[in-house]
Copies of this chain bind each other. A is one copy, B any other.
Amino acid sequence: MAHTGTHSQPVRACLLLVVVSVWVQQVDGVWPLPQQLDQSADRNSLSPQRFSFTYGRDSAAQTGCSVLDAAFKRYFSIIFPDFTKGSGLLIVKTRGCDGYPDEDSDESYNLSVSEGQAVLRSVTVWGALRGLESFSQLVYQDDYGSYFINKTEIVDFPRFAFRGLLLDTSRHYLPLHAILKTLDAMAYSKFNVFHWHIVDDPSFPYQSRTFPDLSNKGAFHPFTHVYTQSDVMRVIEHARMRGIRVIPEFDSPGHTQSWGKGQPNLLTPCYKGDVPSGSFGPVDPTVDTTYKFMESLLKEVKFVFPDSYVHLGGDEVSFACCIMNMTAALNRTSIVWQDVFDYHERIPQDTVLEIWKGETYQAELSRMTKAGHRVLLSAPWYINHISYGQDWRNSYAVQPQNFSGTEEQKKLVIGGEVAMWGEYVDATNLNPRLWPRACAAAERLWSDEEKTLNADLAFPRLEKFRCELLRRGIQAEPLFVGHCKHEYDGL
């Protein structure tokens, strides 16, 4: 017998839904694995016609909360793709809904599914998004199309605060839709940082307000292969609605060949003997105009991208510091590639260092954290690199805190990033190369390591999650022989 439960709790966000206890069936869990998940074999029936997400009476977020109102709609149609109505939402404005997720955002949530109702509790709207995702993964259909959810208790929070994914839009241009779709899939895996490696040597697709010639002359094409200001806004807002930060990278002083096309005298000219050879080195640190240009550009970046972090690159050259110091004045936390640490003695203490060199990353983790720096690990997750078979297992086996150091040092590892560099990747192969391979790192960064050591145990849960990605329209490649109920149709 179906009935509508209403249930208010002294919590900040809360959802209510209609469930009916029916009979026993085993289900498969959630990816990434929640910190605590207790599931009973008691199965509850869900009726799409009667189902609704509702804010609890004591919830600080109420109807009108942009992030959660949109998430309610999104998750309703993810869970019940054949039903277009059913959610009755209240509309009230509340604090926190119009902000951006940041490094300190509390993403924890508790989810309790019992007969007649489910209650989701979280401190912030960002935590509520994570809980909605888990909730959506708990619902399943039987062969007759009826929906069910089992009695479940989840207590969940991320292991690392920074769970990033890098896309490279310079080596190949990625159309806006490819980026938005990647953000969708990131939210499904609980990634929370989009590291936008937006420019590099081959092209400069960012359409700057201050220096329009950078993309006019440095993009692959000045109209079709650029990100307009409106494109960038759309990315940032699409990400915000999913609790994802957008951290742009303006990599310098190396990796700037494309910058030189629209900004004369920026790069260091190369010489053959006494004659300019026509080719250029990195940004020229010997002229004042360089610093003025960089300062103006970074001011614009600060204006356009709301996140308190900015990635300054600094890889594969030996004099990045002069550039980096400028950002302190801009009141932004900077991330730089490990090279800046490797080649310099003095680095501002709050600078976050990102490790990309594969062979030596554990020793590097020790050194950097010993020097008191916060660290991001990316080296073992260069996911553009592919090999035949189940290479997700390598990503899954990574242990970011397994290096010699004190407990204090280990806490300085704030997270990691999956990096999809673009030498051989564009929108044609991005999705099957990313998904579900990136999910391995997503679980490593979110879940309790002790509970997720065994890739063989993870395999069936990841297989199920991959089918769920397909059902949601993400072109995720297969893990091995088999099938999904909803296949990608090849169109």
Number of identical protomers: 2
CA distance A479 to B428 in the complex (A): 11
The answer, yes or no, to whether A283 is at the interface (CB within 8 Å) is no
- Chain B residue nearest in CB terms to A177: B490
Tell me, yes or no, whether A388 is within 8 Å of chain B by CB.
yes
Report whether A388 and B483 are in contact in the complex, using a CB–CB cutoff of 8 Å: no
Query: Does the CB pair A429–B432 fall under 8 Å?
Result: yes
Q: Does A424 contact B (CB under 8 A)?
A: yes
Give the contact stretch, choosing among A20-28, A358-366, A470-478.
Answer: A470-478
Q: Which residues of chain B are near A384, meaning CB under 8 Å?
A: 388
Evaluate contact between B225 and A491: CB separation under 8 angstroms.
Answer: no
Q: Is the CB of A478 within 8 A of B428?
A: yes
| Smallest CB gap from A490: residue in B | B178
Q: Report if A174 contacts B (CB, 8 A).
A: yes
Q: How many residues of A contact B (CB 8 A)?
A: 49
A388 to B203, CA, bound (A): 22
Q: Residues of B contacting A385 with CB < 8 Å?
A: 388
Whether, in the assembled complex, A306 has its beta carbon less than 8 Å from a beta carbon of chain B, the answer is: no
List residues 181-229 of chain A with CB under 8 A from any CB of chain B: 181, 202-203, 220-221, 224-225
Interface string of A438-466 (1 = CB under 8 A from B): 00000000000000000000000000000
Whether the Cβ atoms of B389 and A424 lie closer than 8 Å is: yes
Closest to A225 in B: B483
- Also in contact, A428 and B488, with CB within 8 A (given A386-B387, A388-B386): yes
Is A427 located at the chain interface by the 8 A CB criterion? yes
- Nearest opposing residue in chain B for A475, CB measure: B428
Contact indicator B175/A490 (Cβ below 8 Å): yes
Chain A residues numbered 373-415 whose CB sits less than 8 Å from any CB in chain B: 384-390
CB distance from A86 to the nearest CB of B (A): 26
Whether A16 is near chain B, meaning CB under 8 Å from some CB there, is no
Among A173, A424, A487, the one with the most B-chain Cβ atoms within 10 Å of its Cβ is: A487
Q: Which of A386, A389, A478 has the most CB of B within 10 A?
A: A478
Q: Is there a chain B Cβ closer than 8 Å to A242's Cβ?
A: no
* Interface residue ranges of A220-279 to B (CB < 8 Å): 220-221, 224-225
Given contacts A475-B428, A483-B225, are A388 and B387 in contact (CB under 8 A)? yes
6 closest Cβ contacts across the A-B interface? A178-B490, A429-B432, A427-B490, A220-B483, A429-B477, A171-B481
A-B contact pairs, 20 of them (CB 8 A): A175-B487, A175-B489, A177-B491, A220-B482, A386-B386, A386-B387, A387-B387, A423-B480, A424-B479, A424-B480, A425-B478, A426-B487, A428-B432, A428-B476, A428-B477, A429-B429, A429-B432, A429-B478, A431-B490, A432-B433
